[in-house]
Structure 1
Amino acid sequence: MPMWHHPDSPAADRARELHTRLTGAQPQAVASAPATWNVIGEHVDYYGGVTVIGLVDLRAAVAVSPRTDDVIRVTIAENNEETTEDSSLEALAALAAAQQPTTDSEGRTIVPPAPTGNTHTRVAGMVWMLINRQLLSRETSGMDITVVSDIPPHAGLGARSAMDVATALALISDHEELADAPMRARIADVCAQAVTLFSEVPPLRARHTAALRGAAETVSVIDYADNSVTQAPHPLGKEMSGFVVSVPAAGDIAASVAHIRARQRFVHDACHAFGTDSLRLLPDAAPRVVDWLTAVHEIDGPEGQPTLPDARNWLAFFDDETTRAQGVARSLRSRRGTELFSVLGSSQTELAAIYGLENAQQIAELSALRGAVGTRAASAGIANAVVAYVPAVKADLFADDLSEAGLDVIALRPGEPARPE
C-alpha cells in the first residue's frame, strides 16, 4: 500500500468547483483549514491542562452559498466518496434543546443522552451555533455547504475539526476582524460548542485553536488554565521526520468515546461542585475531589459516577500528563530532543495502562521495531493510529516497510493555519 497521497490541486479549488457543479452558481465564500497532529496532552484540555499540537499540510476546504428555503444542505467529498444530507435550522434547534440538562422531582440534574450527530449534522450545526453566538445574521434562511477534505478521517489528524473551522470561516468570511487573535479565539470556542451540542464524537478544543492560531514553523502550546497560546520550536526538521501510521479503515470507537465522555462529565461535575473553571487551579484538587465523590456515592449512590479507584487514576493522569506536556514544551524550547521521546513514551504507556485507551498500542510497538525512536497515539481512543518520530536517514525505509505491511503512512509536513480562500 503506497503512502497517503498528497493532492496535486488545492482542496479550496476543488471545493469551489464541486459547489458550482452542485448548485449551478459560484459560492459566496470559500475557506480552508489544516489537519492537526497531537504531540501530547489532548486528554487534559477539559482538566485545564496543557496541549502541544502542530499543523499538517493536508487540508479541508468548504464552499458556501445562501438558500431561501430553510434547508441546510451539506455535501462532503472525502475518501473518493461524495455524500449529501439535508437539515434545517428548526431541526438543529431541536437537537440543541435536547442537550440541555433537566432536573428530576428531587432537584437532581438529569444529564441528557450524548449527541449522535454524524459529520453532516456537525457541519450543519455550525450554522445554528454561529447564528446563536451573533456571528451570523438571524436572517439566515438556509445554506448550501460543500466540503472537500484531503485529510484521512481515520488517522487521528483532526479531519472533522478542520471541517468545523473551514465552515465557520467560510460562513463569516466578510467579518472585518477575522485575522485578529481575539476573533480567532472566539471562533475556536464556537466550533467546540457546536461540536459539543451536535457531534457523536466530543471535541478536542486544541485542534480548533491550533488550526486558527498555529503556524507552520512551530507547534502550539495551549495552556487551558489561562487559555494562553504560545509557540515552541517544531520537533520535526532536517534530522527528524514524522509520520502518522494508521489502520486503513475506521474502527468502532463507540466504547472509547463513551469512556472519554464519562471522564469529561466527571471533571465538569467536579468543577461545578467546587465553583471553578479548572480543576488544575483548585488547590489540593485530587484529595478534595475524591472526598467530594465519596460524599456523592454516599448520598446519591454510585450510579452514573466513576468508582473511587478510577477517579484517583484519572486525576493522577491529568496531573502527570500536564506535567509531561509542560516538559515537552521546555524540551522543544531548549532543543533537548532526547528528553522529548522519553516523555512521549511515558505518556503513551499511561494512556494505555492507566487511562485505558490502548487501541494504538500494537501500531506503536510495530513502529518502534521498524526504526521509530519515539511513538505516541495520534488520538487515543478516537483513532487506531500513532505519531512516529523517525530519524530522517531512515524515513524512506520506515515508510516503505509500514506501507508494505498494509498500513496507511502519512508524512507530517508543516501546514498553514486556516484562512479564507
Structure 2
Amino acid sequence: MPNDVPVPANLRDLNVRTAWNDAGGAARARELFTTSFGGVPEGVWAAPGRVNIVGEHTDYNGGLALPIALPHRTFVAVSPRTDRVLRLVSSVADGVVEVDLDAVGPAGTPAEVRGWPSYVAGVGWALEQAGLASALPGLDVAVVSCVPTGSGLSSSAALECSVAVAWDELAGLGLAGRAAAPSDPGRSRLVEACVRAENDIAGAPTGGMDQAASLRARAGHALLLDCRDGGAEHVPFDLAASGLELLVIDTRAEHSHAGGEYGQRRATCEAAVRLLAAPDLRAVADATRAGQTSLEDVLPRLADDEQRRRVRHVVTEIDRVRALVHLLRDESDDRLRGRSLDEAGRLLNASHDSLREDYEVSSPELDLAVETARRTGAHGARMTGGGFGGSAIALVDDDAVETVIRAVDDAFDGAGLRAPGFLRAVASPPAGRVG
C-alpha cells in the first residue's frame, strides 16, 4: 500500500506498529469498499485512537483527564444510500453485515445490534434520538484500521467518531465544522452522540473521554478535558522538544469495556456519591483541594473498604491531572527536564500504583510492562485505559526507546506471555475527512 510509514530498521524484528498516513489508510479503505460493494465511495473519513496520559476512571466521575489523539486511525470509505439500510464491511471480519436503521434498539432488547456493527448503527440511532437528524440516509461503509483492538487505545471510539464525521458531512448536519477548530460546540454534540451509542447500543458503560479525544484533540497538544461540563483546553505537549517519547506498550491481554468489572467500578463510585450526598466525586476532589475537607474526613463516611479505595483513587487521580498540567503550562520553552521531568515521572508512577492497589484494574501483564519500563530507563510508566488488560505507557528518553522496547519484549518472553506490541505516540489531529 502506498505512503505507509516504515518501521525503523533497528526495530523490524519486534512488533512495532507504525501508523498509516492519510493517503495509505484512505487507499486501503477505498480498495475494501470497491471489492465489497463495487464502484467508488463518496469519500473517506478517519478518526484517531487515543492514549490517556493521566486521569483514569475519572471521566464518569465528573473529573479531569488528559488524553492525546494517536497517529493511529480508523478509516471508513462511505457512500450514502437512498434507503435506511447500513451495509457494513470490515477488513478484520467476514462478509457484509446489513442493519436496518429503523430496527435499531438498545443493548439487551430484542432490537439490539450485536458485535462491532453496534458501534456504527449506534451513532445514527443516537444522532436521531438527540434530534440532530430526523431521518439519516443509510450508508455503505468499509472499515480499515491501524488502531489495535482490545488494547485500551479506544478502537471503538475511533470507529464511532469516523462514522460520525462521515454522516455529519453526507447528511449536511454541519456539526463537525473544521478540523482546525475542534472545540466547536458541534463537535461536542457529536461526542455526546458517540458516547450514547457506546453506552446504550453497544452496552459499554464508558465515560466520554475517548470520544472527546478523537473528535476534539489538536496536533501537538494534550486535551485537558473537564468531564463534568465538557469543557476542554489544549495544553502544549511536544515531547520531542525535550528529547522524550511516549512509548505505548500493548500487552496483548485483551479487555472489553462491555465486561462486568468496568461497570462494577462505576456502580461503586455512584454508591459512594450517594452516601456522601455529593453531585459527583469531582466535587469531593474540588473540596479537598480547596481545604474544605480532606480524604481523612471523607473516607470514614463510606460503606466499606472497597468504596474507600475507589474514592481515594478518583480523588487523587484528579489531583494528578492538575499537577501534570501545571508542569506542562509552566515550561515556557515547552521542555520537560530536571525536576519537572522527575515530577512528571512520579505522577505517572503514582497513577499506576493507585490503579493497581486502590482501583484494582491492572493485570499481571500491565504490571510487568510498567515495572520493566521503569527498571530500564523510563522516567515514569503506568497502565492506560480502562484496565484489565490493554496497554501501558512509558515516558522515555528518545535514545532509550529501543532499550526499553527490547527489555519489555524479553520480559514477556521470559514470563511465557504473548509478544507485546509497541506504538510511538505523538499528539495528532482529530477526526475529519481524509479523501
Both proteins in one fold, TM over 0.5 = yes
Distance in 1 (alpha carbons) for counterparts of 2:142 and 2:371: 39
Q: Give aligned-pair identity as a percent.
A: 24
Give yes or no for the alignment of 1:338 onto 2:342: yes
What secondary structure, in the 3-state scheme, does the structure 1 residue paired with 2:140 have? strand
- 2:19 matched residue in structure 1: 6
The amino acid of 1:258's aligned partner reads G
Deviates more, 1:31-40 or 1:220-229: 220-229
Structure 1 residue 285 displacement after superposition: 10
Unmatched segments (≥5 aa) in structure 1:
100-114, 295-307
The AA in structure 2 aligned to 1:208 is Q
Q: Structure 2 unaligned segments of length 5 or more: list them.
A: 1-13, 288-292, 332-339, 414-418
CA contact (8 A) 1:136 1:171 kept: no
Q: Using structure 1 for the length normalisation, give the TM-score.
A: 0.82
Q: Name the amino acid aligned to 2:45.
A: A
Q: Residue 297 of structure 1 corresponds to which residue in structure 2? A: none
Change (3 A) 1:137 1:77: farther
Query: In structure 1, what is the Cα distance between the partners aligned to 2:47 and 2:248?
Result: 19
Structure 2 residue 136 is the aligned partner of structure 1 residue 136: no
- For residue 369 of structure 2, the aligned residue among 363, 376, 381 is 363
AA partner of residue 147 (structure 2): I
**Residues 1:375 and 2:371 aligned together:** no
Q: What is the Cα deviation at residue 41 of structure 1? A: 0.8
Q: Is the 8 A contact 1:332 1:340 kept in 2?
A: no
Alignment of 1:1-400 (within 5 A): 1-7=14-20, 9-68=23-82, 70-78=84-92, 84-93=96-105, 95=107, 117-138=114-135, 140=137, 142-173=138-169, 174-179=172-177, 181-234=184-237, 236-238=239-241, 239-248=243-252, 250-251=253-254, 253=256, 257-268=259-270, 278-281=280-283, 308-335=304-331, 336-359=340-363, 360-400=366-406
Give the conservation status (yes or no) of the 8 Å contact 1:60–1:163: yes
Separation in 2, partners of 1:281, 1:199: 29
> What corresponds to 2:10 in structure 1?
none
In the other structure, the counterpart of 2:431 is: 418
| Cα pair 2:217 2:430 within 8 Å, conserved | yes
Answer yes or no: is the 8 Å Cα contact 2:175–2:190 preserved in 1: no
- Residues 371, 288 of structure 1: alpha-carbon distance in 2 compared, 3 angstrom cutoff: closer
| Contact residue 269 and residue 310 of structure 2 kept, 8 A | no
Q: Distance in 1 between matches of 2:198 and 2:59?
A: 15
Offset at 1:124?
Answer: 1.8
Distance in 1 (CA, whole Å) between partners of 2:153 and 2:45 is 18
Task: For residues 269-303 of structure 1, give each alpha carbon's deviation from its aligned partner in whole angstroms, at most 9, with x where no partner exists.
Answer: 66678887534236669878986x75xxxxxxxxx
Structure 1 residue 257, shift from structure 2 partner:
3.5
> SS at 1:365's partner residue?
helix
Amino acid at match of 1:77: S
SS, match of residue 167 in structure 1: helix
| 1:187 Cα deviation after fit | 0.7
In structure 2, give the amino acid aligned to 1:205. G
- Taking the aligned partners of 1:165 and 1:382, their CA distance within structure 2 comes to 24
Q: 1:353 deviation in Å?
A: 0.7
CA distance in 2 between counterparts of 1:235 and 1:83 reads: 42
**Partner SS state of residue 237, structure 1:** helix
Alpha-carbon shift at residue 163 of structure 1 (Å): 0.9
Partner SS for 2:143:
strand
Counterpart CA distance in 2 for 1:98 and 1:289 is 42
* Separation (CA, whole Å) in 1 of partners of 2:95 and 2:205: 22
**1:140-199 Cα distance to aligned partner (Å, 9 max, x none):** 3x3222211111113322111111111100011133342261001111111111100122
SS in 1 for 2:218: coil
Q: 1:172 & 1:289 partners in 2: Cα distance?
A: 45
The alignment's C-alpha RMSD in Å is 3.0
- TM-score relative to the length of structure 2: 0.80
| CA gap 1:235/1:204 in 2 versus in 1, 3 angstroms | farther
Alpha-carbon separation, structure 2, partners of 1:244 and 1:402: 11
SS in 2 for 1:383: coil
Cα deviation per residue 1:33-53 (whole Å; 9 max; x = unaligned)? 112111011311111111011
Alpha-carbon contact 2:105-2:113 (below 8 Å) kept: no
Return the offset for 1:209.
0.9
Q: For 2:232, what is the secondary structure of its paired residue? A: strand
Give the partner amino acid of 1:240: L
State the SS of the aligned residue for 2:259: helix
Query: Using the alignment, how far apart are the partners of 2:299 and 2:105 within structure 1?
Result: 35
Report the count of equivalent residues. 387
Structure 2: distance between partners of 1:382 and 1:34: 22
- C-alpha change, 1:136 and 1:271, in structure 2 (3 Å) is farther
Distance 1:362 1:190 in 2: 37
Name the structure 2 match of 1:407: 420
